[in-house]
Amino acid sequence: MTKKINVLFLCTGNSCRSQMAEGWTRHLKSDSINVYSAGIETHGLNPGAVKVMAEAGVDISGHKSQHIDEFKDVPINYVITVCDHAHETCPFFPGGSKIVHVGFDDPPRMAQEIAGKGGSGEEQLDCFRKVRDQIKQYVETLPEALAVQD
């Protein structure tokens, strides 16, 4: 049996993309990955992310927005930044954690733009669905895709 790796998904507010990535990884890869998510700030859990993940059969409603400092004592093998801001401001991780950037669009910002143009609630949720599905596709490549980073 192979030892599980510790992966932390990092985003600005740990409210949407990193939460969806944690949810997908728990759902699809819990046999090989211990997964966590955090933000460089905490913004609470985005209801749009919760809704679209539930549509896909993954319940993240019990997650909470966590700050990166909560994981300072966890030996993280890989930090995966899922937004540009988190990647640019990613703190130092002791112990040889590898930093990998896999950026995804920001669903709340895209939904807000659509709302500003008079788009429906469903059109706004489609922004979340698109990113949810992209994150799932990425998570399906783990942990093998991380080996390429070594």
Active site residues: 11, 83, 90
C-alpha–C-alpha distance, residues 136 and 49, integer Å: 13
> What residue ranges in 3-117 does DSSP mark as E strands?
5-11, 33-39, 78-81, 98-101
Collapsing DSSP to helix, strand or coil, 82 comes out as coil
Which of these, 10, 26, 34, 33, lies nearest to 90 by C-alpha position?
A: 10
Q: Kindly tell me the sign of the dihedral angle through the C-alpha atoms of 103, 121, 129, 37.
A: positive
C-alpha–C-alpha distance, residues 53 and 129, integer Å: 8
